[in-house]
Amino acid sequence: MLAHSKWDALLVVVCGLQLALTGYAVWAYPLLPWPSLVGLGALIVFLTCTNYQCTTHYQIHTPFFRAKLLNRLFSLVSSLAIGMPTTLYRFHHLNHHRFNNDVLDPETGTTQDASSTYRHGRNGRAEGILTYALLSIFRTDLVDLFRQARKKQLGGWVAAEALLLLAAVAAIALYDWRAAVTFCLPVWILGQAGAFAENYLEHHGAIPGDRRTDSVSSYGWLYNKIWFNNGYHQEHHYKPQVHWTELRAVRSELPPEEERIVAPIAHWFHLRGALFGLPPGDSV
């Protein structure tokens, strides 16, 4: 059933776990004390980021299932997990890979990568991580992404994913509007922000324009165990067709670590200078 590796089943489980915990949180909302809801919300935010950065991400590059229909059906499930139509995210992400966090073009005044950290920066610097993380989801041009999907005859799948999302939101609101507004909405916003913040840190301080230095890797053992080798991000950008279980082998094809940016322990600790869009090591 699985096309590449038995380990992809773990990613499918992570997706299902997030949906199960969200359902439980809505059902138990009136029963749980606030500390428990906050803890549960934080876990769901983490799982949302995991499903963005790992599950849906890897499904885009190396689809999990042999059968095309199963991959399409899984896109419906993953749409619920990440909180946006998976097919739209696919075109958003492929644009990111095509232009690899490029800098501002002096002629057009913008970037070709719609999610580039430089798009809304100033003086040739990247934008700060806070505004990038909090505003990027609202800057995403869903209409343009839908046009791209229609050109590939995928408009119907986008509609199905969007309708399923709307049905889920409506069901939650009808069941308990307070859970929808005070739990699910903040969790969704923080999940989107967390995913964009991770993307920021995966490119913060890297050297655009070179496929071997335009991203940031992090080789922490535990981090890569928890996040399915997501730390091998430069390796992934260099060879996005390589399955996540084999990314370690690509490391030897890249320049030495002294010639590119490598984050210690995990991307999450790669924050120095990020608040103001400064390269790592620089200060305001």
Please say if the pLDDT value at position 135 is more than 70: yes
Is position 44 within any domain?
yes
Residue 273 pLDDT class (50, 70, 90 cuts) = confident
Quick: pLDDT tens for 147-159.
Answer: 999 999 999 999 9
For residue 140, the SS3 value is coil
CB atoms inside a 10 Å sphere around CB 52: 24
CB 1 within 8 A of CB 70: yes
- The domain total for the chain is 1
User: According to the model, what pLDDT value does residue 282 have?
Assistant: 64
Q: Which amino acid is at 257?
A: E
Averaged pLDDT for residues 253-278:
92
Residues paired with 2 in a beta bridge: 65
User: According to the model, what pLDDT value does residue 284 have?
Assistant: 43
Is position 52 within any domain?
yes
Return the percentage of the chain with pLDDT > 90, whole number.
94
Residue 283 pLDDT class (50, 70, 90 cuts) = very low
Is position 70 within any domain?
yes
Averaged pLDDT for residues 196-212:
95
Please say if the pLDDT value at position 260 is more than 60: yes
Please say if the pLDDT value at position 145 is more than 60: yes
What range defines the domain where residue 201 resides?
Answer: 8-208
Is position 237 within any domain?
no
Averaged pLDDT for residues 14-18:
98
* Average pLDDT of the chain, as a whole number: 96
Quick: pLDDT tens for 30-64.
Answer: 999 999 999 999 999 999 999 999 999 999 999 99
Determine the Cα–Cα distance for residues 223 and 202; give it in Å rounded to an integer: 13
User: According to the model, what pLDDT value does residue 276 have?
Assistant: 83
Measuring CA to CA, which residue among 123, 110, 114 is closest to residue 278?
A: 123
Please say if the pLDDT value at position 133 is more than 50: yes
Is position 130 within any domain?
yes
Is position 236 within any domain?
no
Is position 35 within any domain?
yes
Is position 267 within any domain?
no
Determine the Cα–Cα distance for residues 79 and 51; give it in Å rounded to an integer: 10
> Is the pTM here over 0.85, yes or no?
yes
